[in-house]
Amino acid sequence: MTAPDFAARPQLSEDIARFVRRRIFDGTYPAGGYIRLEQLAGELGVSVTPVREALFELRAEGLLAQQPRRGFVVLPVTGRDIADVSNVQAYVGGELAARAALHITADQVRDLTAIQDALEEAYTRHDGEAAVRLNHEFHRAINVAADSPKLAQMMSLITRYAPESVFPTIEEWPQESVRHHRQLLAALENHDADLARAAMSEHLAAGAAPLIDHLRARGVVQ
């Protein structure tokens, strides 16, 4: 995995945390392996300060542990961890979708549909990076429409624990995701809160099993 250009980015530590998180979930950084502060800073071409901040953030998330004089060690990820995150996402995301259905405007539905169209195009051309970005935009737009900032903030924190970058590479998940998103769009357009809640909850919960299988096959999940 090639390191992106981290020079002169705002919120640099968050970008670095996202980069390391992706490496953990793609198996580049295996459980029990050490991440060296100076080595990673040199690889990314940044100072050690934002790298240290990023690694402390990942320690707080339970992905890393700090050991004196040895640096940061990658902790094991379990299937139960993934399932727990997915279940919490399904509950909170379902509530946000239900609220969005009650408040969403025609313009927001139109914008959401355009994002979904672009997401499906990204899946078709196997552009995983664009797919991850557009999928994030799709869910964020729903959370904004829900007009519940505290709940949306909670969802954002939970999502940090979910390896979003992996989903486009899981066989048959893009097609399944498209089906879920289209059902959700229909519920939002019809202002059907119950159906929107059910569609979002099903969507977020359904990803757990294929994700666990995918990560287990690559030795990431134990």
Is the same domain home to 22 and 85?
A: no
Q: To the nearest whole percent, how much of the chain has pLDDT over 90?
A: 73
CATH code for the domain in which residue 167 is found: 1.20.120.530
What's this model's pTM, rounded to 2 decimal places?
A: 0.82
pLDDT tens per residue, range 164-207: 878 888 888 999 999 999 999 999 999 999 999 999 999 999 99
211 domain-assigned: yes
pLDDT (0 to 100) of residue 5: 57
pLDDT at 1 over 70: no
66 domain-assigned: yes
206 domain-assigned: yes
Those residues with Cβ within 8 angstroms of residue 126's Cβ, 6 or more apart along the chain or in another chain: 168
CA distance 159 to 148: 16
DSSP 77: B
Of 20, 53, 74, the residue that ends a domain is 74
* Residue range(s) defining the domain that contains residue 120: 79-216
Q: How many CB atoms lie within 10 A of CB 67?
A: 10
Ranking 8-12, 13-17, 21-25, 193-197 by mean pLDDT, the lowest is 8-12
Number of domains into which the chain is organized: 2
Is the same domain home to 21 and 36?
A: yes
Is the same domain home to 65 and 137?
A: no
7 domain-assigned: no
Is the same domain home to 52 and 126?
A: no
